[in-house]
Chain A
Amino acid sequence: MKWQEVHITDVLVIGAGLAGERVAIEAAMHGHETTILSLVPPRRSHSTAAQGGMQASLANVAMGYGDNADIHFEDTVKGSDWGAEQDVVRRFVNLAPIAVRQLAHWGVPWTRVVPGKKTLPSGTEIEDLAEKEGLIAQRAFGGTAKWRTCYAADGTGHVLQYAMDSVVVKLGVTVHDRMEAVSLIHDGENCYGCIARCLRSGRLRAYLAKATVIATGGYGRIYGTSTNAVINEGTGMAIALDTGVVPLGNMEAVQFHPTGIVPTNILVTEGCRGDGGYLLDKNLHRFMPDYEPAKKELASRDVVSRRMTYHIRQGFGVESPYGPHLWLDIRHLGPEHIHTNLREVASICKNFLDIDPVDSLIPVVPTQHYSMGGVRTNKDGDAYGLKGLFAAGESACWDLHGFNRLGGNSLAETVVMGMVVGMRVAEYVREAPLNFTPRLVSDAAAKQEARIEALLSNKQGEEYVYELRRRMEETLLENVGIFRDHAKLEHAVEVLKDLHARSYRIRLRSNGLGPNPEVGAALRLPGMLKLALCIAYGALKRTESRGSHYREDYPQRDDTNWLKRTLAYWPEGAELPELKYEPVTIIELPPGERGYGETVRSTGVTMGE
């Protein structure tokens, strides 16, 4: 590797979404030289697409009075179906209000409290107090006892990412966009940075750092049909897994969001239901109260998604060329509310469905949305297995969300965890030397060079990258979705194993030169298939139902055997991950009823009986 192709920095952050930028800001504010890599300019990261909001127990609005960190704690642990690390949750709920207020200081135009009497769509009268006027407002989200989700109209992610990036720009942090990390540089004990492929030139580059942070977001795109951006392919998790020593935590925990629109799977925010929207079936019957009398549409996402899928299976879906769907009805919220607090929803409906939700129903179906699993870290963000490697945000398994994340808790996590991990990294870098052997760097680069060479020489085989990829997406969607069972999971594992083997025999159909996208896709695919196998195999082995992981053949949560986290390792050359388990930290709230859907399960009655 030539020296001009090597970039040296104190802190290397892979990923420029909210999590990555927040880590970088903290490190830079502590005086460390910091470099961020990203596939795209930071402001195009997927965080900008978040609409609904960010949870923090400010207790500023009528329906939030009395809210505090303890209630936020309880909601989060219940939401996680007791899969969350309680010391992490505690730290998170205590810091979330500070994070929200700091963002206000950085310029986020949070929606503010307007005092006065209001009537909710349910008919309940509430009054926002004059003494709270102008403080940050909250709306309702699923699975929360209080209204706790801070928001800016319904463009919360956009304003957060722009404010965050403006601080990055102000601090002069180095950002290399169109730069894709393709492997980590490590010796099995320490991490020294990464090898990246420049998406402008197609050339490889080495990044050397005392601390490397993975903040690459989720992997929704391995499912094909997902609310995620098309760049959310999980490559950050894959390069950590590739080291053989860093495990991924709870990969089988995959969240489906109740309201992806049909047919494009673009998300409309949970804020729709939070603000009073209903779900209707083909008879225009509001079915959620039948299943969840207490929480109705605002039970947690795993529960609502299951109820919807079950209801469709019972024949109540609306037929369409894209399969059966249900309706989301927000018409009763009125044009004024829709065109201010839900205006992004209105424009999505206009742009992609050619309808106005003020007078039309929105076709929706549960869609892959969030990856609870990721690079397993301790409560400070240190990745297991390699010193000098950290992770934050959706690509990490910190583990705040356990088996089901509450809406609004991810934006909050990116910022809070970004702050925590940033401080940890700043402290680590102060002590850590930057010592690496040139040999290690050139070997790591040579390995990636060889992969590209092999593709360009076109002698490996006949497989076509997009064909294998499509098969992977279909296999996951059909067999590793909302309802799982032994037979489907076993089938998925077999198919994915085969696809994984074939992914090393890809032949390019194009010349592969320069920033060629086919090369990028071919380099990524084996890693994506490894993630797919971690998900499917982890789900096959977990013989219980917990949060988003629902086994029809094991419909109950089994705390006796499964109150533990899956750790998936990938030994070099293996065809399946090696699974280990660790206990979940329970310090405050022992496992119990969730308060939605749970009663059904603990009495042993499965859905459909």
Chain B
Amino acid sequence: MSNRTLTFSIFRYNPATPEIKPRMQDFQLDETADMSVFIALNRLREEQDPSLMFDFVCRAAVCGSCAMLINGRPRLACKTLIKDLPEHITLMPLPVFKLIGDLSVDTGTWFHDLNIRTETWIHTDKNFDPKAVEERMDNPTALEIYEAERCIECGCCIAACATANIRADFIGAAGLNRIARFLIDPRDQRTPAQIFEVVGTDEGIFGCIGLMACDDLCPLELPLQSQLAFVRRKMGLAALKSKRN
């Protein structure tokens, strides 16, 4: 284990003091074994500057709270190990999302809006019968839904997306992956044509210009590229059908 002294350049801004302009601030910290950016930030806050704002919840790469730009790349800070980084580490808040302060951004509101716009709940006219046995589903289908359901809404794909950075209303890879999840699910009775109404626009599937940074940067390594292709194919077919009708 090398005895490195790390320098963290961290973006600072407190909305309560708008007269102090956003700026970068440097901190020094000695590296310890198995240190992650999560551990480093907590040490900085407890030992050097208790006003430092950043978000963590699970610290285990399952909740999606801690995404930030680490040396320019959107990543989950809790699963980024310092040993994989150079001595000088720059931390910036994710772009696209509204800034709350320092490294903390409002991904929650963004995803809430997305979920309303894309109506990401099961649409069905069946009522739940508490006395009945569950409806059957074959296991490969269940696993396929699970696969598409794994997104943790961290926002890395959105922050990395060229379109999302210029169009505030683009639903991005996370949004399209969410659509894929409902297209796969036999319980959702929406037809592709109905979904096309929602995403067959430039804010939806046609906004993607195919740079695929989302796919490279997804911390969960979700197969975003194939999910995008899947939605695009379904939507293409739905569009053709509606033209013919």
Contacts and interface: CB of A to CB of B under 8 A. Distances in A.
Contacts of B122: 105-107, 166
A218 B104 CA distance: 24
A111 B143 contact: yes
Contacts of B138: 112, 133-134
B59 A105 contact: no
A104 B60 CA distance: 26
B149 A49 contact: no
Given A230-B59, A266-B59, A321 B33 contact: yes
Interface stretch (A71-79, A151-159, A446-454): A151-159
A107 B124 CA distance: 10
Interface in B95-115: 100-101, 104, 106-109, 111-112, 115
A340 B46 CA distance: 39
B139 interface: yes
Nearest to B130: A98
Given A107-B187, A348-B60, A517 B50 contact: yes
B60 A102 contact: no
Contacts, number: 197
Nearest to B60: A266
A599 to B, nearest CB: 37
A113 B130 contact: no
Contacts of A98: 130
B185 A169 contact: no
Interface in B118-168: 119-122, 124, 126, 128, 130, 132-139, 142-143, 145-146, 149-150, 152-153
Contacts of A41: 107-109, 111-112, 153
A162 interface: yes
A602 interface: no
B142 to A, nearest CB: 5
Nearest to B65: A44
Nearest to B80: A351
For A58, A110, A267, the residue with the greatest tally of chain B CB atoms inside 10 Å of its CB is A110
Contacts of B101: 514-515
A49 B146 contact: no
B105 to A, nearest CB: 11
Contacts of B65: 40, 44
Nearest to A100: B134
B172 interface: no
Given A43-B111, A158-B150, A169-B115, A110 B57 contact: no
Bin the interface of chain B by size: 35 or more
Nearest to B220: A347
A515 B53 contact: yes
A246 to B, nearest CB: 27
A405 B41 CA distance: 34
B58 A114 contact: no
B121 A167 contact: yes
B72 to A, nearest CB: 21
Contacts of A48: 58, 62-63, 152
Contacts of B146: 109, 111, 152-153, 155, 159
B64 A44 contact: yes
Interface stretch (A81-89, A184-192, A495-503, A505-513): A505-513
Contacts of B149: 109, 155, 158-159, 162
B136 A229 contact: no
Contacts of B73: none
A40 B108 contact: yes
A383 interface: no
A105 B130 CA distance: 10
A202 interface: yes
A199 to B, nearest CB: 8
Contacts of B60: 49, 264, 266-267, 348, 352
Interface string B202-245: 00000000000000000010000000000000000000000000
A159 to B, nearest CB: 6
A264 B78 CA distance: 11
Contacts of A266: 59-60
A363 to B, nearest CB: 12
A43 B185 CA distance: 20
Given A105-B128, A263-B34, A175 B112 contact: yes
Interface residues of A, number: 72
A319 to B, nearest CB: 15
B22 interface: no
A268 to B, nearest CB: 10
Contacts of B88: none
Interface string B31-63: 001100000000001100111110111111111
A515 B152 contact: no
A158 B62 contact: yes
A166 B153 CA distance: 14
Nearest to A464: B50
Interface in A214-229: 229
Contacts of A153: 143, 146
A102 B130 contact: yes
A109 B62 contact: no
B17 interface: yes
Interface string A513-543: 1111110010000000000000000000000
A466 interface: yes
Contacts of B63: 40, 43-46, 48-49, 229
Given A41-B108, A44-B57, A169-B121, A518 B51 contact: yes
A113 B133 CA distance: 14
Contacts of B116: 169
B121 A107 contact: yes
Contacts of B137: 109-110, 112, 134
B15 interface: yes
A241 to B, nearest CB: 24
For A110, A112, A266, the residue with the greatest tally of chain B CB atoms inside 10 Å of its CB is A112
Contact of B136 (A111, A112, A230, A509): A112
Contact of A109 (B55, B64, B120, B142): B142
The 10 closest A-B pairs by CB, nearest first: A514-B16, A41-B108, A134-B136, A510-B51, A166-B121, A518-B50, A109-B145, A112-B139, A513-B16, A466-B46
Given A41-B107, A44-B64, A155-B150, 8 more contacts: A106-B121, A112-B137, A136-B134, A137-B139, A170-B121, A200-B15, A229-B59, A348-B61
Interface of A: 40-41, 43-46, 48-49, 58, 98, 100-102, 104-107, 109-114, 133-137, 152-153, 155, 158-159, 162, 166-167, 169-170, 175, 177-178, 200-202, 229-231, 263-264, 266-267, 321, 340, 344, 347-348, 351-352, 465-466, 508-518, 521
11 contacts: A106-B121, A107-B188, A153-B143, A155-B149, A166-B115, A167-B121, A169-B112, A169-B116, A177-B109, A230-B58, A515-B53
